[in-house]
Structure 1
Amino acid sequence: MPKVSSVIVPYAAYLRVYEPLAAFPEPERDHWARYARRPDRPSYQDELRRSLMDLAPTPPVPVPVHESDDAFVLEADGVVCVCPWRTRLRGWQALGELAEDFPLSVLDVLLPPVVRHQATQDYERWLADHPDARPWIRTSTWQVPINWFVLFADDEREYDKGSAAEAPVLRYRTPMVQARRRVARGLRALRDAMEESLLIDGLVDVGRWLEEFHPRSLVELDYGGLVHALPAGTLEDDHSAADVAEGIAALRRGDGEGAGEAYGRLVERWRAVRDLRSAN
């Protein structure tokens, strides 16, 4: 559980895939096996702090010079599973999405064009040698995309309210086979109810991403730093995956009103986060 401190880095949620050691070729498998035995493994906050420290110099370093050799680790039914950070790869991909989040004039101040151009060239050269590269982690700031909730059931929800020394935790974990099945069922219901939508596009994208991994992987949705953006009572009562499942079930029944009510609960629950984002 992440520690509470003055340097907590909000507000991002994460969708992670943990693959069994058997999914990795040697010598990478041996590296992760040894890594999993370490008692001092870093947290997601450590990764974020390192990334922010790279932005402090002038000019900033938007993408790490070297790829991270860290990972998140969990054990399920006696099987060790790892989720490599791949911070450098994710940094390159995030850099390509910045234009969607900031006006060009603001982006040029944050990251000068020459810095972005160099990073883009580095990525293109690297990608030519690693055409099948994909991240094990997806990140979303200020929100959890609705299509992420489709992968999980309410009984897979884990909540810990935390303490003075420990931050709250809200996450879901499910076997890969269940996540893929829910994607397929969700897409059928959505396509039967509407011709096209951003939700369908997003779910297709997530489904394709999941197909890249070992079938015995685990999928995790971690609210991460978003727990600091949601009021304590709202966080404890947050059952967004259940609302999404109820909405999809209503669409499957042809109950548009029921689907609208479920969506309305989602909108209302996340209003506080949107208001906080607007204030910043």
Structure 2
Amino acid sequence: MPESFVAYLRVYEPLSSFEQPLRDELSAALEEGPVDPFEAGRWEQDQWLRSQLAAPPRLLPGETADGEEKRAVGVLALDPEEVPTGPAASVGPGPLVCPLDVRGRAAAALVGFLGDSDVPLRTAALQVPAETAKSRASKVITETADSAVHVLSSTWTVPLPWFVVVDPEERCVFSEPGRRRVCWRVAMADARRRVARAHSVAQQSLGDEGPTKILDETGKWLERFHPHSAVELDYGGLVKLMTESDLDVDTSAEDVHAIVDAMEAGDAEEVGERYEQLRDFWAEFASRERHN
């Protein structure tokens, strides 16, 4: 099965900042071997398929047949030396780890699916009545509400406000035979500073809805983590849709930062030109969702 076309915004916290017993569970997962970052999307997909193919099937990955949690920790790891930092930012100590939080995110996605899908599709996709599925998934969301989810995801495209977090000059393209990865890493202090500034500018220019609301939510999400964490924006499975020429002309991060600067300066023409460029670039990829 092909990898899902999903992009990610992740937080890696110092292992020492986690409380017990999760710290020991994460340490054990690191000893067994962290998830390959090239394969993170496939790992999550595999967890979902295993839950659905179990006998009896599980509603969500990481739980027993009766809905109780059966934690299987997947973790990504990052060395602080791999994270660019500004003058007032620091990261670490290492190792930095990102728990993949599959059960909670799957529950949130299931609630969204139940709200958006038609009855025939829900009936075909679910092993239990829709109301039962919604009740169990909502219970998981409530149980995990006090813990910060370390991964946000977006299908088929990257939410443009996410690019505010990163330094446009720090994009990393990792290539190995048959696979490629595109991402940015940034220190938490730098990420929070950029989001706070962009939110203030957007609020004055656009009001409280749209991109401003996403920036507000992103800023509140970042505040839940250790101040010496790292943040990563990863194109994930979207790179499967991109050619080398697509990556060569991809100036999304530069364009988003230029839009913030132009809004602050009151340059509506620059805002319009940059936004049109972004819309044209990402519309091709987003349109493929409709074709699927």
TM class, shorter-length: 0.7 to 0.9
Among residues 52, 73, 79, which one is paired with 1:69 in the alignment?
A: 73
Match of 2:96 in 1: 81
Q: 1:130 to 1:107 in 2, by over 3 A?
A: closer
Match of 1:47 in 2: 44
2:13 matches 1:19: yes
Match of 2:123 in 1: 108
Alignment of 1:170-181 (within 5 A): 170-181=182-193
Match of 2:156 in 1: 142
Aligned partners of 1:201 and 1:13: how far apart in 2?
20
SS of aligned partner of 1:133? coil
Q: 1:40 to 1:199 in 2, by over 3 A?
A: closer
Amino acid of the residue matched to residue 188 of structure 2? Answer: M
Maintained 8 Å contact 2:111/2:137: no
TM-score normalised over the length of structure 2: 0.84
Q: Which runs of 5+ in 2 are unaligned?
A: 64-69, 82-92
Q: 1:222 to 1:130 in 2, by over 3 A?
A: closer
2:257 matches 1:245: yes
Alignment of 1:260-279 (within 5 A): 260-279=272-291
SS of aligned partner of 2:95? strand
Among residues 80, 83, 93, which one is paired with 2:108 in the alignment?
A: 93
Maintained 8 Å contact 1:62/1:95: no
SS of aligned partner of 2:9? strand
TM-score normalised over the length of structure 1: 0.87
Among residues 23, 28, 33, which one is paired with 1:29 in the alignment?
A: 23
Match of 2:241 in 1: 229
Q: Aligned pairs, how many? A: 271
Q: Which moved more, 1:102-111 or 1:258-267?
A: 102-111
Q: Which moved more, 1:233-242 or 1:101-110?
A: 101-110
Amino acid of the residue matched to residue 118 of structure 2? Answer: P
Q: Residue deviations 1:52-89, cap 9 Å, x none?
A: 34345798644121333111111114621100011111
Q: Which runs of 5+ in 1 are unaligned?
A: 1-6
Aligned partners of 1:154 and 1:267: how far apart in 2?
18
